[in-house]
Chain A
């Protein structure tokens, strides 16, 4: 069974700072997901990636399959980026269809 570790657990930064959130997982995967959850709110899928790098606006996600590690970066951070960011991978290795297992999340606060 796959296990996911995220760091940091909590992060407070000033508006405009470059933010990095890290995720490590224990067994090989087909793809990794980055999700965003606002307090009391729903979950938004930000990225699903299986190799290399993806960019969407100010968000960048990278993955190193060999090292079983992914990072989520936010450039020019803004208070509206304040949320919980969650890394998720398939429960089981093998690449087949599967439910997800999740990291505990990174609570990000961007102060104006």
Chain B
């Protein structure tokens, strides 16, 4: 049973470009969470999704950020018009139920030049 997969592992973008981060949950997991870790800071919750639904996006910046978890395929975190302050490690986690243990992916390290 493969773990949570994230790709790309490293992503470099220039200011103003779009970044797309993908997360494939563990088999049988229908709950996905996205977290961000800014340099020298702790992890912060961004968004919680179930298949085709956003459950809680209270941690997501109101502009430029969006997330989806379609019926088929991975969950996508999309950042439009990236700025240097978006440089961070983005982790996703999945769980089989909302209150169960969360399993983390390896993260995507985004660098904005």
Contacts and interface: CB of A to CB of B under 8 A. Distances in A.
Interface of A: 30-31, 33, 35, 41-45, 48, 86, 88, 91, 95-105
Contacts of A45: 101-104
30 contacts: A30-B99, A35-B104, A41-B106, A42-B91, A43-B43, A43-B91, A43-B104, A45-B102, A48-B100, A86-B43, A88-B43, A91-B45, A91-B58, A96-B98, A96-B99, A97-B55, A97-B98, A97-B99, A98-B56, A98-B98, A98-B99, A99-B35, A99-B48, A99-B59, A100-B33, A100-B35, A102-B43, A102-B44, A103-B42, A104-B42
B105 interface: yes
Contacts of B59: 99
B50 to A, nearest CB: 9
B97 interface: yes
Most chain-A Cβ atoms within 10 A of its Cβ — which of B56, B102, B103, B105?
B102
A43 B37 CA distance: 11
Interface in B40-55: 42-48, 55
Chain B interface category by residue count: 20 to 34
B107 interface: yes
B6 to A, nearest CB: 9
B67 to A, nearest CB: 12
Contact of B56 (A99, A101, A103): A99
Interface of B: 31, 33, 35, 42-48, 55-56, 58-59, 91, 93, 97-107
A33 B45 CA distance: 14
B102 to A, nearest CB: 7
